[in-house]
Chains A and B, each alone.
Chain A
Amino acid sequence: MTGQAQLLPGTLDLLILKAVSLGPLHGYGILLRIEQISRRALLIEQGALYPALFRLVRQGLLTANWGTSDNNRRAKFYELTAAGRKRLRQEADDWNRLVAAMGAALGAQPEEV
């Protein structure tokens, strides 16, 4: 568990959107995908995925359909809607701007001021 960063509030939704944008996934698959694409650097409260997924479906950013998983179990698969794709693009842009700004601010040297 060491070396893992706590998620900032609000970023879980963005991560879910990103994970699902790479292909339809069920809940556990989303967790694995996030761990994989974040190189296991993020600490995710697993149960918190489900309220977030429910919310995203409600907002029309995801659709959910029952299907069969690789190990032949009935599972709910999530897919990105057009609105979800748009939201992902927007939030990713916002995030990149924030990161760039924070990076610049925190990297400032005395002589630059």
Chain B
Amino acid sequence: MKFLTWLRLHLSSPFYSKHINAEIDEEMRLHIQNRAEDLERSGLSRSEAERRAQVEFGGVERFKEEVRDARWETHVENVLRDFRYAVRSLAKDRRFTFVAVFALALGIGAATVAFSAFYNLLFNAFAAKEAERLVVLSMQNAEAGGHPEFDLTPISGTLSDLDAIRSQNEAFEDVIGFGRGIELLNDEKGNRQVYVGHVTGNAFDFYGVPPLLGRGLIPADAKPAAVPVFVMNYGTWMGEFAGDPGILGKKFLLKGKPRALVGIMPPRFQAFGAMNQVWVPITDARGAGGKEREESFGTVMARLKPGVNIGEASAELDVIVKRIAKNKPQEFPKHFTARVQTATDFMMGPWGIGSAGGPETEHFDIRHMLYDLLAGVMMLLLIACSGVANLLLSRGAAREKEIAVRTALGASRWRLVRQLLAESAVLAIAACAVGCAFAYFGMRVVAAAIPHKG
């Protein structure tokens, strides 16, 4: 703020420039006076001395001009003048300006929308904390169909497997597991079928998204003696219970078992599988219920420690998983390698939300579709740019006369270039502004097309 006030003072206050000018004037006058007196003392007549002093000094105006050029404010003033002129000359040619701005804005808007979608899907898909370090533990089956992407499946595991991975690795901060099912949720008003995410007790802490109401699941909920609880998503809460906060703490029957609702997650929270409506903890019944066969869940996710890369983590994981596989060979393919893939790659891959069919379909991988879309939109932007460049060229040809006049009046080449650059910059800025507006509405259209489940 202080800087701005200062800048304005320097730029716009005629007082400031006048002040500088007056000072320099005074200095130069004093110099010439002193010189004249010295010359007079050396024997010249007063008028001759004054004339000589003036001649020796040189052109006062020229040096004042030089001082003006030494001030950077002068350059800013010139640039501002160029911009003012550019705006005026564009305002004169409204049709051209409208077409150019509209074409550019369309390109910019479309590119922004596509890139936003692209960014959110491929780089920022997860609301989780430190989402860029989330990985899905996977294995590459060396014997199956031979499709490298389709044969890369998530590793399923039991709680004991998870413990083994957790204790034997150096690469992961924490490991969670989850699976899903469709179950009946009953209360006195009726039955409904819901998608249920079964998650290990640490999953909600791991994900790090705070609940909208109440609490998320905590490790204590997974203890065998814990009170059975569950957490609901926003969409179901709004749709089935009209967003009534009073249902918090109420008991429901889920798959015939009474469970208390302890928390509501925020809108668009979607984790541990797609389209989940409620989440329940996977109870750790080991030790309590004897030696029954452990249930295994579909997906195991981990967060890499900072600085650990995919390759290192994969190498470690392969060793650990091969050790696990030795104890229960019937659950693993004969030849496989275990590795981690980023959560984003998993999501976009054939086993994530991108699955639009098996490997026999052309686009079973949503990533390729997104890249195609982005390339298309970039081409659109390029076309818009070249179109506007053409328009500018033809306008330049029509303006030859104006430029000739300005050159004749003493405008330097650099000055002319600056003027034209200023015009292009004004066009670009206007197009950016309009393009942002387009993008804003475009994003709303895209957002409206996203199903509001969740």
Contacts and interface: CB of A to CB of B under 8 A. Distances in A.
Interface in A59-106: 69, 71, 73-76
A109 interface: no
Interface stretch (B56-64, B170-178, B343-351, B446-454): B56-64
Contacts of B24: 50, 54
5 contacts: A46-B56, A48-B63, A55-B70, A71-B37, A73-B33
A28 B30 contact: yes
A75 B27 CA distance: 7
Interface string B33-56: 111010000000000000000001
Interface string A36-47: 000000000111
Given A45-B58, A55-B70, A50 B23 contact: no
A50 to B, nearest CB: 5
Interface residues of B, number: 23
A26 B27 CA distance: 9
Given A47-B58, A50-B24, A75 B63 contact: no
A51 interface: yes
A73 B56 CA distance: 21
B58 A50 contact: no
A46 B27 contact: no
B238 interface: no
Contact of A54 (B31, B37, B58, B67): B67
Interface of A: 26-28, 31, 45-51, 54-55, 58, 69, 71, 73-76
Given A27-B30, A71-B37, A74-B26, 10 more contacts: A47-B60, A48-B63, A49-B31, A50-B27, A50-B63, A54-B70, A58-B70, A58-B71, A74-B30, A75-B30
A31 B56 CA distance: 12
Main SS at interface, chain A? helix
Contacts of A50: 24, 27-28, 31, 63, 66-67
Contact of A48 (B30, B34, B58, B69): B58
B58 A46 contact: yes
Contacts of A73: 30, 33
A74 B25 CA distance: 13
A49 B69 CA distance: 15
B59 A47 contact: yes
Contacts of A28: 30-31, 34-35
A46 B34 CA distance: 12
A47 B61 CA distance: 10
Contacts of B37: 71
Given A28-B35, A54-B67, A46 B57 contact: yes
Contacts of B31: 27-28, 31, 46, 49-50
Contacts of B67: 50-51, 54
B68 to A, nearest CB: 9
Nearest to A31: B31
Contacts of B58: 45-48
A77 to B, nearest CB: 11
Contact of A27 (B27, B60, B66, B71): B27
Contacts of A46: 31, 35, 56-58
B228 to A, nearest CB: 74
A47 B70 contact: no
